[in-house]
Amino acid sequence: MSDSFFSKNDPLEDFVSDFSGRDEVKAERIETVHRQRQVTVRDFYESARERLDMELVAGEKGLDNVIGEKSLNRPALALTGYFKHFGNRRLQLFGAGEISYLSDLRPETQMVLLEEIFAKGIPGIIVSRGLRPTPSMIDLSNSFGVPVLRSRLKSKDFTAEATMLLDQEFAPETNIHGTLMEVRGKGVLIRGESGVGKSECALALIERGYLLVADDYVTVKLVGDNTLIGSSKELNYGFMECRGIGIINVASMFGVRSVRRSKRIDLVVSLVHWKDGMEEERTGMETQVFEVLGKRIPKIQLAVRPGRDMARLVEVAVMVHTLREMGHDPAQELNERLISTMEKHLQEDA
C-alpha cells in the first residue's frame, strides 16, 4: 500500500488487506508487587470515625486487633448458643434486636453468652443506633481486649457504608510508573519510558481543561471484583515534574478543579519513541490490553515523533474508546463496508 491509507491509487484488494478481521488480543503484563493490607480495628476506626459517627466505648487496648474479613457479622444466632459458621474473624454488629435481647436477660446469663462470643477471638464489636452497650459487654471488652465502638447510624445504613469502606481497605494494591488523567470523564493511564513525554502530554491535557490524578507514581487498587482505582500518594498529590522546568504545583497554576484524588482506570495509552521502519497500528483492528492485578484494561499505543500533537491524539483515543464501549467501532464498521463493496464487485463480475 502507499503511504496514505486511503490512497485512491491502491487496488481494492490491497485496501482490504489490513482488514482481515480482529487480531488476537495482545496483552502487556507487568511484574508488580501487590499487597493485601492487614486492616486493624484502629485503621477502620480512625479512617471511618466521622463518616460512620463512631466513638470508642471500651476495650481500647484491643484497637490493634486484626480484622480478618471485610464483611460484618450479626451475632443473633450466637446469642442463642449456635456457633456453627460463626464469623469470628469479622467485626460483630449489635443492633436493636441483639441489644434488646441481651437487656431482657439476667446479668449472669448475659455474661455467659457474651463470654462465649468474646472467647472466639472476635476483632471488635460495633453497637448501632447509639444504643448503650450492656455492663457485661463493657466488662468483657476490657478483660478480653476487644474494642467496643458505638455508632449513631441505623444498622442498615451502617452496614452499607462500613462494607464499602472495608472493601476499599482490604483491596489489593500495587504501584505503577505512569501519569493518570481524567479525560472526557474517563480515567487514562499514560505510560512509557522515562523521558518519552508523559508529563508534557499530561500538561497539555490539563491546559485543555482535563484533570490530573497522579504523576509519575500511580497507586492502583482493585476494588470489588473488576474495578481498578488509581490515586496519588498524599506526598505528591497535585504536583508534577516537567523536564527543563522542574516541579509544578498544578492546583496553584490551573486551579483546584484541575486535580482530583482518584479515578477508575478505563484506558491505558502507551507512548513509545518512534523509530524508522517501526510498525504502527493503522486500522484499529488489533486489540491490545494492559494487565494489572489480574484485570485487563484496553490499551492503545502511540508513537512519539516531532510534529505530533500527543495530547490531541490521547483525547481522540479516549473518544474512540468511548464509542467502542457504546457499540460503535469505526474500524469494524469500515471493515464491514469494504467486505460488502468487494462482494458487490464480485457479483457484478460474475
User: Are 182 and 207 within one domain?
Assistant: yes
Distance, C-alpha 89 to centroid of its chain:
25
Q: Which of 26, 29, 51, 177 is catalytic?
A: 177
Question: Which of 35, 132, 282, 344 is an active site residue?
Answer: 282
Where among 170, 196, 222 does a domain terminate?
170
The verdict on 87 and 222 lying in the same domain is: no
User: What per-residue confidence (pLDDT) applies to 148?
Assistant: 97
- Establish if 228 belongs to a structural domain: yes
Task: Specify whether 141 is located in the same domain as 187.
Answer: no
Give the pLDDT confidence of 183-230 residue by residue, as tens digits.
999 999 999 988 888 989 999 999 999 999 999 889 999 987 789 999
Average pLDDT rounded to a whole number, residues 114-134:
96
With 80 as the cut, is the pLDDT of residue 235 above it? yes
* Domain assignment present for 62: yes
154 part of the active site = no
Reply yes or no on whether 276 is catalytic.
Answer: no
In tens, the pLDDT along 44-53 reads 999 999 999 9
**334 pLDDT above the threshold of 60:** yes
Task: Assess whether 215 and 156 both reside in one domain.
Answer: no
Answer yes or no: is pLDDT of 23 > 60: no
What's the pLDDT at 7?
47
Angle 269-267-311 (CA atoms, 0-180°, nearest 5)? 45
- Find the mean pLDDT for residues 29-33: 57
Res 172: pLDDT: 87
Lowest mean pLDDT among 13-17, 32-36, 124-128, 237-241: 13-17
pLDDT, residue 52, reads 96
Q: What are phi and psi of 282, to 5 degrees?
A: -115, -15
- 321 catalytic? Reply is no
- Confidence band for 11, pLDDT divided at 50, 70 and 90: very low
Residue 342 forms part of a structural domain: no
pLDDT digits (tens, 9 = 90+) for 62-74: 999 999 998 999 9
**Are 236 and 282 in the same domain?**
yes
**Is 70 one of the annotated active-site residues of the chain?**
no
Residue that wins the pLDDT comparison between 54 and 335 = 54
Specify the pLDDT at position 344. Answer: 81
Instruction: Give the lowest-confidence range in 38-47, 181-190, 319-328, 333-342.
Output: 333-342
Distance, in Å, from the CA atom of 125 to the CA atom of 145, rounded to the nearest integer, reads: 11
For 256-314, write each residue's pLDDT tens digit: 999 999 999 999 999 998 887 777 666 666 778 899 988 899 999 999 988 889 999 99
pLDDT, mean over the chain: 87
| 161 shares its domain with 180 | no
Domain containing residue 217: CATH number: 3.40.50.300
pLDDT at 249 over 70: yes
Question: What does the pLDDT read at residue 284?
Answer: 63
> Are 116 and 228 in the same domain?
no
Is residue 116 classed exposed, middle or buried when 0-12, 13-18 and 19+ CB atoms within 10 A define those classes?
middle
Residue 3, domain member (yes or no):
no
Read off the DSSP letter of residue 183.
E
Mean pLDDT, residues 123-133 taken together? 96
pLDDT at 136 over 70: yes
Of 199, 210, 213, nearest to 260 (Cα)? 213
Supply the range of the domain harboring residue 45: 39-170
Q: Calculate ∠ Cα 163-169-170, nearest 5°.
A: 90
pLDDT above 70: residue 331:
yes
Q: The C-alpha cell of 338 is what?
A: 469494504
93: pLDDT strictly greater than 70: yes
At residue 61, the pLDDT reads 95
d(CA 145, CA 47): 21
Region 158-164: what's the mean pLDDT? Answer: 93
- Separation CA 177–CA 165 (nearest Å): 26
pLDDT of 173: 87
Given 18, 216, 295, 324, which residue is catalytic? 216
Tell me which of 154 and 223 has the higher pLDDT.
154
Give the pLDDT score at 30.
58
Same domain, 145 and 239: no
* Catalytic one of 70, 198, 221, 299: 198
- Number of domains present in the structure of the chain: 2
Q: Is 347 a member of any domain?
A: no
